[in-house]
Amino acid sequence: DAKTTQPPSMDCAEGRAANLPCNHSTISGNEYVYWYRQIHSQGPQYIIHGLKNNETNEMASLIITEDRKSSTLILPHATLRDTAVYYCIVRQGGSEKLVFGKGTKLTVNP
Amino acid sequence: GAGVSQTPSNKVTEKGKYVELRCDPISGHTALYWYRQSLGQGPEFLIYFQGTGAADDSGLPNDRFFAVRPEGSVSTLKIQRTERGDSAVYLCASSLNGEDTQYFGPGTRLTVL
Distance from CA of B17 to the nearest CA of A (A): 25
Q: Are A22 and A8 in contact (CB under 8 A)?
A: no
Residues of B in Cβ contact (< 8 Å) with A94: 98-99
A-chain residues near B105 (CB < 8 A): 43
Give the tens place of pLDDT for each residue, A61-97: 999 999 999 999 999 999 999 999 999 999 876 667 8
- State the alpha helices, DSSP H only, in chain A: none
CB atoms within 10 A of CB B15: 12
Peptide bond between residue B8 and the one before it cis (omega within 30 degrees of 0) = yes
Q: Whole-angstrom Cα distance, residue A91 to residue B51?
A: 21
B101 to A103: CB separation less than 8 angstroms, yes or no:
no
Contacts of A107 (CB under 8 A, 6+ apart): A9, A10, A11, A12, A83
Closest chain B CA to residue A87: B42
Closest CB to A96 among B42, B48, B91: B48
- Verify whether the Cβ–Cβ distance A87 to B42 is below 8 Å: yes
The per-residue pLDDT for range B39-57, each reduced to its tens digit, is: 989 999 999 999 999 989 9
Asked whether A90 and A24 are in contact (CB, 8 A), the reply is yes
Q: Is the pLDDT of residue B68 over 90?
A: yes
Is the pLDDT assigned to residue A59 strictly greater than 70? yes
The conformation of residue A16, written as its DSSP 8-state character, comes to S
DSSP conformation letters of B42-95: --EEEEEEETTEEEE-TT--STTEEEE-TTSS-EEEEE-S--GGG-EEEEEEEE
CB–CB contact A101 B102 (8 Å): no
| C-alpha distance from residue A17 to each of A75, A81, A110 (Å) | 6, 14, 13
Interface of B with A in 45-104 (CB under 8 A): 45, 48, 50, 55-56, 59, 91, 93, 98-99, 101-104
Burial of B84 (0-12, 13-18, 19+ CB in 10 A): exposed
Sort out which chain A residues have CB atoms less than 8 A from B35's CB and list them: 98
Contacts of B42 in chain A (CB under 8 A): 2, 87, 100-103
A97/B104 CB distance under 8 A: no
- A36, A59, A90, A96: which to substitute to probe chain B, counting the most B Cβ within 10 Å? A96
Contact A102 B33 (CB under 8 A): no
Mean pLDDT calculated for residue range A48-61: 95
What number is the average pLDDT over the span B1-25?
95
Tell me what percent of the residues of chain B surpass a pLDDT of 90: 92
Average pLDDT (A39-68) is 94
